[in-house]
Structures are given as C-alpha cells and as structure tokens.
Amino acid sequence: MTEQPSPESATRERDEEVVSAFVERFAAQLVEAGMTRMPARVFAAILASDSGVMTAAELGRQLKVSPAAVSGAVRYLAQVHMVSREREPGSRRERYRVHTNQWYEALTSRDQMMHRWEETLREGVASLGHESPAGERMAETLEFFSFVKQELPLLLERWRAHREKLFGPE
C-alpha cells in the first residue's frame, strides 16, 4: 500500500536543487522510453510541482528554456492527454495542469491509435501473404495489439478500483 505524505512533510520546505535533479532524472527515463526531451522535462516539472499546475513562464524559469520550447512541449503533451491547458483566472495567461489520472488518460487515448495500427497491420498481412515470414511477423504483431486492446479496459477498471481504495474517489 502506498504511504500518504504526512501533514508535516506537506508543509516542509522543498530543496529546489533536489527537485530539479529529480525532474531531470525522470525526464531522462521518459526519453529512454521514447518521449522527446522537452515534453519529458515539462511533464516531469509539472508533475513535481505541489499544485500540479504551472505557467509557461514558471516552466521556462525552472527548466531554463525559451517560451517557444515550452509551447511546443505543451502542445505535444496536450495532444497525448498528459496535460491540459486552462486559463489563469482573471488573466489571458494559460497554465498547464497534470491530472491525477494522467497515465490513465494517456493509455486510453492510445486505444484509437491501436485501432488504426490494427487496420494497417491487417492490410499488411493481406498484402504480404499469411504464409510469408514477413506476413507471419505482421500477423503476430496484429495479434499482440488485438490482445492489448482487449485487455486494456479490464486493466484500467482494476486500476480505478485500486486507486479509489488507496486515495479515495476522484
């Protein structure tokens, strides 16, 4: 069971150097998994913020990058449902929010992509021939995505129940 932070640790002063090191380390791991560098850094920074919300100016200062770099990274992260944009109350500035269910959102958005991959892989199997080595590899890949697509909703439902037990309803 995941331990909840104590009230004392919630009010404890943050060591910004330690936080910055965490952000860069986690971002590097996201890059190793296939995410591009700037979106990984922006996502890790927002995730590590106490509020889960940051403006472009705050991200630029913390990460020492230009507003254009932040803008491109946020565009990508919003597209893959890892952050959302919202207007700062009483301002024209946007702020970017990581939701508590960002991993759930990111996985569910993959469903449409997997559906497109399945369709293309079916065409590949048909065009390469079921009996060819390439056709067999394509068929195995197709079966993998079909299996994942079928199992993912069940896994996500189990996650929602597990999350609610640990952290309460959203």
Specify the 3-state DSSP secondary structure of 169: coil
At 12 the pLDDT is: 59
- pLDDT per residue, tens digit, the chain (170 aa), is 444 444 444 445 789 899 999 999 999 999 999 999 999 999 999 999 999 999 999 999 999 999 899 999 999 999 888 899 998 778 888 899 997 777 777 776 677 788 889 999 999 999 999 899 999 999 999 999 999 889 988 988 998 899 999 989 87
Q: Which amino acid is at 64?
A: K
pLDDT of 11 reads: 47
In DSSP terms, which residues pair with 99 in a beta bridge? none
Class assignment of domain 7-97?
mainly alpha
Note the pLDDT of residue 91. Answer: 80
Coil/strand/helix, residue 80: coil
pLDDT score recorded for residue 121:
94
3-class SS of residue 149: helix
What was the pLDDT predicted at 3?
46
pLDDT on residue 89 = 79
Q: What is the predicted pLDDT for the residue at 61?
A: 95
Question: 81-98 burial by CB neighbour count: b if 16+ within 10 A, else e?
Answer: bbbbeeeeeeeeeebbeb
Return the pLDDT at 7. 43
The answer, as to whether pTM is greater than 0.75, is no
What residue ranges do the domains of the chain occupy?
7-97, 102-167
pLDDT for 88: 75
